[in-house]
């Protein structure tokens, strides 16, 4: 049933192709994860190099996206997949798009950080950088869960992710609310507030993309489309 099930397709090439597709999606996930790691480090004070690295690696993410897309189109045209195969390929295609966007948001945050480093101000008596860094840690944790769920067809984890039931999700929301409160309450430095809003928006979107990946995995495993159900 699954891509890697023993006694797979009668066409062995098809199995190989599917495995290749999975590997490439996971590789792309790893690249995005590296970007996020870089950003995480940058917020930790390891500034210049890390942000540049994040921006740089976005190119390879984009290139890989195009490559995987081509591969998917080829698979669709040549194998006319159905059932689980079809769902897997469609899921892979969607995840690739979300990964690319997640990479973009990471770059966005890195840009803000490199522009305004050390100038994000305080919130509730803590440096905003530290707050954001912790948020990022939580996001990375969720991202890992999402990618592992994709790798393992883990329906339960994906479902928890998508429904926001996991630990990090609740905490992220709490912390983000607190941070956004800071932008209003302080009112002092406008640029601080704007930067914080930009970062929060990217973070919000990033979270959304990670949840999307969870939704895609649910579709992959069950065939049920759960998107836009909670909205």
Partner 1 sequence: MLAVDQREAFMSVVETRVGEPDSMKMDELSIENTIGKPLLEKKISMHCREVDVFYGDKQAIFDVSLDIGKNEVLAMIGPSGCGKSTFLRCLNRMNDTISSCKITGSIRLDGEDIYDPKVDVELLRARVGMVFQKPNPFPKSIYENIAYGPRIHGLTRDKTELDEIVETSLVRAGLWKEVKDRLDDVGTGLSGGQQQRLCIARAIAINPEVILMDEPCSALDPIATAIVEELIDELRQRYTIVIVTHSMQQAARVSQRTAYFHLGKLVEVDKTDRIFTNPSHGLTEAYITGRFG
Q: Which residues bind partner 1 (CB under 8 A)?
A: 1-11, 14, 19, 22-23, 26-27, 29-30, 33, 37, 40, 80-87, 134, 137-138, 140-141, 144, 147-148, 151-153, 155-156, 167, 221-224
Which are the contacts of 80, defined by CB distance < 8 A and separation ≥ 6? none
Who contacts 93 (Cβ-Cβ below 8 Å, separation ≥6)? 68, 69, 72
Nearer to partner 1, 137 or 180 (CB): 137
Nearer to partner 1, 87 or 201 (CB): 87
Q: Report, in Å, the least distance between residue 176 CB and partner 1.
A: 16
> Toward partner 1, which CB reaches closer, 137 or 197?
137
Helices 12-43 and 47-79, packing angle to 10 deg: 160
Torsion of CA 50, 129, 28, 76, to 10 degrees: -140
Distance in Å, CB of 137 to partner 1, minimum: 4
Q: Choose between 142 and 200: whose C-beta lies nearer to partner 1.
A: 142
State the Cα–Cα distance between residues 182 and 113, nearest whole angstrom: 18
The minimum distance between CB 67 and partner 1, in angstroms, equals 17
Cα(47)–Cα(115) distance, integer angstroms: 11
The first and second tokens of residue 76, run together, are: 């669709």
* CB of 147 vs partner 1, minimal distance in Å: 6
Strand intervals (E) in the chain: 122-123, 126-127
In the complex, the smallest distance separating the C-beta of residue 203 from partner 1, rounded to whole angstroms, is 16
Q: How many CB atoms lie under 10 A from the CB of residue 15?
A: 18
Residue 81 or 121: which CB sits closer to partner 1?
81
CA dist 43 and 126 (Å) reads 14
Shortest Cβ 227–partner 1 spacing (Å):
15
Is 204 in contact with 225 (CB distance < 8 Å)? no
> In this complex, which beta carbon is closest to partner 1, that of residue 8 or of residue 164?
8
């Amino acid at each position: 049933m699954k891509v890697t099930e023993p006694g797979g397709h009668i066409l062995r090439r098809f199995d190989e192709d599917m495995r290749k597709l999975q590997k490439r999606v996971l590789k792309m996930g790893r690249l995005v994860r590296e970007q996020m790691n870089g950003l995480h480090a940058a917020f930790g004070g390891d500034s210049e190099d890390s942000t540049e690295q994040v921006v740089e690696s976005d190119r390879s993410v984009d290139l890989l996206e195009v490559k995987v897309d081509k591969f998917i189109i080829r698979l669709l045209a040549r194998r006319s997949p159905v059932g689980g195969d079809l769902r897997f390929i469609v899921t892979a295609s969607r995840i690739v798009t979300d990964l690319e966007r997640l990479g973009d948001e990471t770059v966005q945050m890195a840009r803000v950080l490199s522009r305004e480093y050390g100038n994000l101000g305080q919130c509730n008596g803590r440096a905003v950088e530290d707050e954001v860094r912790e948020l990022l840690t939580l996001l990375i944790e969720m991202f890992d869960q999402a990618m592992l769920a994709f790798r393992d067809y883990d329906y339960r984890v994906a479902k928890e992710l998508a429904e926001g039931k996991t630990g990090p999700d609740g905490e992220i929301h709490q912390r983000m609310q607190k941070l956004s409160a800071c932008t209003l309450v302080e009112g002092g430095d406008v640029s601080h507030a704007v930067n914080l809003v930009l970062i929060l928006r990217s973070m919000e979107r990033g979270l959304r993309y990670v949840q999307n990946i969870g939704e895609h995995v649910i579709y992959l495993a069950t065939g049920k489309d759960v998107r836009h159900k909670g909205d």
